[in-house]
Structure 1
Amino acid sequence: MIFLDQPYVSDFLKRTIREFELPVVLTQASRAFGADSFPSAITEEEARVRVRATPNPKLYQVSESSIGWVTEHLGESAMPARIEQFKNKASFRVATAALFPDLGFREIPVTDLDDFDPASFPAPFVIKPTVGFFSLGVQRVESAAAWPAALAAIRADVARAAGLFPAEVLGTASFLVEQCIEGREYAIDAYYDEKGEPIVLSILEHLFASKDDASDRVYITSAEIVRANLPRFTRHLQDLGEVFDVRNFPVHVEVRVDAEGRVIPIEVNPMRFGGWCTTADLTYHAFGVNPYACYFRGERPDWDALLDDPDSSFGNDTFALVALGNTSGIDGKDIAAFDHDALLARFARPLELRKTDFRRYPIFGFVYARSTPEQLAELDWALRSDLAEFVTRA
Structure 2
Amino acid sequence: MLILDYPYVSKLLKNTAAELQIPVLKNEMAAGLKTEKKLNLLEEDEFIKLIKEKGECALYSNSENSIGWISENLGFTGLPEKIELFKNKVKFRELLERLYPELYFKSVKFEELDKIRVEEIKKPFIIKPAVGFFSLGVHKVSTNEEWDSVLKSIKAEVEEIKKLYPEQVLNMENFIIEGNIEGEEFAVDAYFNREGKPVVLDIFKHIFSSENDVSDRVYFTSKKIIETYREAIEDLLKEIGNLAGLRNFPLHLELRISQDRRIQPIELNPMRFAGLCVTDIAYFAYGINTYRYFLEQLEPDWNKILADKEGKSFCFIMLNKSEDLNLKDVKAFDYEKLLSDFEKPLELRKADYETRGYFGYMFTETRDSSWSEIERILKSDLREYITFKEAASASSVLKNNVQK
Shared fold by TM > 0.5? Answer: yes
1:285-305 CA distance string (max 9 Å, x none): 001111110000010011123
1:223-271 CA distance string (max 9 Å, x none): 1111111110110111111111111000000000012211100000000
1:41-94 CA distance string (max 9 Å, x none): 222112111222344221111110111111122233311111100000000001
1:76 match: secondary structure: helix
- Asked whether 1:390 is paired with 2:385, we answer yes
2:75 match: secondary structure: coil
The alpha carbon displacement at 1:103 in A equals 0.6
Do 2:131 and 2:172's aligned partners in 1 also have CA atoms closer than 8 Å?
A: yes
Residue 317 of structure 1 corresponds to which residue in structure 2?
Answer: 312
2:40 match: secondary structure: coil
CA distance in 2, matches of 1:197, 1:316: 31
The alpha carbon displacement at 1:334 in A equals 2.2
Residue 274 of structure 1 corresponds to which residue in structure 2?
Answer: 274
Q: Map residues 221-236 of structure 1 onto 2, 5 A cutoff.
A: 221-236=221-236
Residue 354 of structure 1 corresponds to which residue in structure 2?
Answer: 349
CA distance in 1, matches of 2:170, 2:198: 27
1:24 match: secondary structure: strand
CA distance in 1, matches of 2:65, 2:115: 32
Do 1:190 and 1:273's aligned partners in 2 also have CA atoms closer than 8 Å?
A: yes
1:392 match: secondary structure: strand
2:30 match: secondary structure: helix
Q: Does 85-94 or 37-46 show the bigger shift?
A: 37-46
Residue 301 of structure 1 corresponds to which residue in structure 2?
Answer: 300
CA RMSD of aligned residues (A): 1.5
User: Structure 1 34/163 Cα, relative in aligned 2: closer, same or farther at 3 Å?
Assistant: farther
Residue 290 of structure 2 corresponds to which residue in structure 1?
Answer: 291
**What letter corresponds to residue 290 of structure 1 in structure 2?**
N
The alpha carbon displacement at 1:36 in A equals 11
Unaligned runs of 5+ in 1: none
Residue 61 of structure 2 corresponds to which residue in structure 1?
Answer: 61
Q: TM-score, normalised by structure 1?
A: 0.96
Q: Does 290-299 or 18-27 show the bigger shift?
A: 18-27
2:355 match: secondary structure: coil
**What letter corresponds to residue 332 of structure 2 in structure 1?**
A
CA distance in 2, matches of 1:368, 1:267: 24
CA distance in 2, matches of 1:281, 1:103: 33
Alignment coverage as a number of residue pairs: 389
Q: TM-score, normalised by structure 2?
A: 0.93
- Asked whether 1:376 is paired with 2:374, we answer no
Residue 174 of structure 1 corresponds to which residue in structure 2?
Answer: 174
The alpha carbon displacement at 1:120 in A equals 2.0
- Asked whether 1:240 is paired with 2:240, we answer yes
1:141-194 CA distance string (max 9 Å, x none): 001221111111112222221221100000012100000011111000000011
1:188 match: secondary structure: strand
CA distance in 1, matches of 2:109, 2:259: 33
Residue 147 of structure 1 corresponds to which residue in structure 2?
Answer: 147
Residue 43 of structure 2 corresponds to which residue in structure 1?
Answer: 43
**What letter corresponds to residue 91 of structure 1 in structure 2?**
K
Moved over 4 A (4+): 34-37
Residue 8 of structure 2 corresponds to which residue in structure 1?
Answer: 8
CA distance in 1, matches of 2:284, 2:39: 26
Q: Map residues 80-91 of structure 1 onto 2, 5 A cutoff.
A: 80-91=80-91
The alpha carbon displacement at 1:34 in A equals 4.2
Do 1:252 and 1:272's aligned partners in 2 also have CA atoms closer than 8 Å?
A: yes
Identical-residue share of aligned pairs (%): 38
CA distance in 2, matches of 1:35, 1:129: 36
Residue 206 of structure 1 corresponds to which residue in structure 2?
Answer: 206
Residue 333 of structure 1 corresponds to which residue in structure 2?
Answer: 328
1:128 match: secondary structure: strand
User: Structure 1 393/185 Cα, relative in aligned 2: closer, same or farther at 3 Å?
Assistant: same
Structure ID, larger Rg:
2
Unaligned runs of 5+ in 2: 390-404
1:246 match: secondary structure: coil
